[in-house]
Amino acid sequence: MIKHILVVDDEKDIRMLFKDELVDAGYGVLLAESGKEALEKLREHKIDLLILDLRMPDMDGIEVLQQVRESDKELPIIVCTAVRGLKDDYSIWEGNVSAFITKPLDLDELRKKVDEILAK
């Protein structure tokens, strides 16, 4: 059975880069360019993993994370951010996030973390 991943990032190039890498790895991939669009897709589709950018114009990733956790405590989430050290600055991460990926991206690291999380 194919696992489905929702990639949320306001940068089209990053969404497409993630999509290409994850489709090549055998995953189904949905894309969202905003927090609001991500929440809609999460309501409409069965998603096995969420990859979430933090800095977006309409609704930041922290707000998306909080709303997702209100309705789904189990969905694995990988936070993707260009802000180094952010992981240590927020207590919200503990128990809510499966992994962090820092931009600029390492696609091998992305694939490894996705594989590890979805193998559970």
pTM over 0.75: yes
Of 86 and 109, the structure prediction assigns the larger pLDDT to 109
For residue 54, the domain's CATH number is: 3.40.50.2300
Q: Domain total for the chain?
A: 1
- Here the tokens at position 92 are 């919200």
Q: Cβ of 88: how many Cβ atoms within 10 Å? A: 7
User: Which comes out higher in pLDDT, residue 102 or 108?
Assistant: 108
Alpha-carbon distance of 115 to 25, in angstroms, equals 9
- Kindly tell me if the per-residue pLDDT of 63 is higher than 60: yes
Judged against a pLDDT cut of 60, whether residue 109 lies above it is answered with yes
Neighbours of 24 (CB within 10 A): 10
Over residues 20-47, the mean pLDDT reads: 96
CA distance 69 to 1: 25
Q: What's the rounded Cα separation, in Å, for the pair 11 and 98?
A: 22
What is the C-alpha radius of gyration for the chain, rounded to an integer number of angstroms? 13
Q: Which domain holds residue 110?
A: 4-118
